[in-house]
Amino acid sequence: MKKKVKVIVIRTAGTNCDYETVTAFKLCGAEVDLVHINRLLEKEINVMDYQILAIPGGFSYGDDVASGKILANEIQYRLMESISKYVAAKRLIIGICNGFQVLVKTGLLPGIDGIDKKEYTTLFNNDSGKFEDRWVHLKSTSKKCVFTKGIKNLSYLPVAHGEGKFLTLDKKILDFIKNNDMVVFKYVNANGGRAVYPENPNGSVEAIAGICNPGGNILGMMPHPERFVNRYTHPRWTRVTLPEEGDGLALFRNAVEFAKKNL
């Protein structure tokens, strides 16, 4: 019997997109374990037993201090040794919304110096000053990222966040990300052109919605691909003809197919 790709989806207090993320990976044929962060901290679970690690959306620990900061600290100061080995082995990591916030606060993204605790980027309060819950158009802009290989040029996915404005420490960091093909998604309008509010829902610099590390195996994005894996979760599924598969599913399938090659 062929081995299945194993995925670990991390949850903690306040996580609320874990079941959707589990479902997305299962639809792509993976074996998925939903694991509380404490089981990793207490070394009951070894992250190296998995080919893909996912940090889903939500409001981990109520987003006290700052979005994703407490979970990021747990990973940074108690798990980074094992996570470093995981990344060095070219395993895959995806952080969605709150998970993206966690990845930038650990330094796993943009990962300029490999595994570095320094925060070169951040996700700040939306320019609108309010929680943004809407659907947005995204343009795929990276040939490097494992998760987006061959996906449609334009995708339609939902966002739901209060701190989603992508910023870099300085222009040199932004230039590094752009010059190394690490911008994975940009917010665009329905025609694929320049996005202004509300098409760019948070005011992110250069409308950046997601980035990867230099190796292309770690992806962080604010929009929620796990919330659109079939036509029934599209806002107009009763009014327009849609394909059975939602735009978000391809990202999870790409990850699973990539991981299969290394089983």
Using alpha carbons only, what angle is made at residue 19 by residues 83 and 263, rounded to the nearest 5 degrees? 45
Separation in Å, CA 193 to CA 166, 188, 189? 19, 5, 5
Which residue among 137, 161, 224, 234 is the active-site one?
224
Active site residue 28: no
Which residue among 20, 74, 132, 226 is the active-site one?
226
Separation in Å, CA 28 to CA 24, 129, 154, 255? 7, 37, 21, 9
Task: Tell me the two tokens of residue 247.
Answer: 């735009």
In degrees and rounded to multiples of 5, residue 51 shows phi and psi of: -95, -20
Which residue among 28, 97, 145, 212 is the active-site one?
97
Within the chain, how many helices (H) and strands (E) appear?
7, 11
Active site residue 245: no
As a dihedral over the C-alpha atoms of residue 41, residue 46, residue 48, residue 52, rounded to 10 degrees, the angle is: -70
CB 202 within 8 A of CB 167: no
Could you give the 3-state DSSP secondary structure of residue 15? strand
* Residues known to be catalytic: 97, 224, 226
